[in-house]
């Protein structure tokens, strides 16, 4: 009798990561405890204009995820659920900061389920100290010369300083 090998639980944590924040890192650090492999999917196309080009967003994500052996960084340029299925991924991880996030993410999860019922969405609530952090707010604060070093990894604070020319 042969014993079936347990299937690896693979998940994708998608986003534009423009730039990656401590809130994103919180989700990554908690997600790796519930899956065997986490693919951080950096979106090529985003609805908003990005501050950092794709190459820089991927480089920052690779730098901050270097300590995590079970994390891989990949880019995607198609419908997320189709990309996930094509890559053998059955779980989408999403972070929630507030009720407004939940409303949007819940609708997206239901749509994804309609498109690809074999893909599950898992929501992770933000830690309290990360609940107010968003990439948009970080960029706005940095552009106005505010300190963001307590909201983003050190390499991101340096990249924001170089990109926006302000003290971080």
Question: Active-site positions?
Answer: 24, 48, 97, 135
Separation CA 102–CA 112 (nearest Å): 15
Enter the tokens of residue 114: 């309609």
Report helix, strand and coil shares of the chain as percent, to nearest 5. 40, 20, 40
Separation CA 144–CA 5 (nearest Å): 54
Enter the tokens of residue 82: 């189709």
Q: ∠ CA(130), CA(132), CA(135), 5° rounding? A: 90
């Amino acid at each position: 009798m042969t014993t079936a090998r347990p299937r690896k639980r693979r998940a994708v944590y998608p986003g534009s990561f423009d730039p990656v924040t401590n809130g994103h890192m919180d989700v990554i650090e908690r997600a790796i405890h519930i899956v065997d492999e986490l693919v951080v999917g950096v979106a090529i196309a985003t609805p908003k204009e990005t501050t950092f080009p794709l190459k820089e967003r991927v480089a920052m994500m690779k730098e901050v995820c270097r300590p995590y052996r079970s994390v891989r960084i990949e880019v995607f340029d198609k419908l997320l659920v189709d990309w996930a299925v094509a890559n053998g991924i059955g779980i989408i991880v999403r972070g929630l900061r507030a009720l407004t996030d939940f409303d949007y993410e819940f609708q997206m999860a239901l749509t994804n389920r309609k498109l690809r019922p074999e893909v599950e969405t898992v929501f992770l609530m933000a830690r309290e100290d990360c609940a107010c952090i968003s990439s948009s707010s970080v960029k706005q604060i940095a552009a106005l010369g505010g300190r963001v070093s307590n909201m983003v990894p050190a390499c991101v604070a340096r990249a924001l300083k170089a990109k926006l020319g302000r003290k971080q």
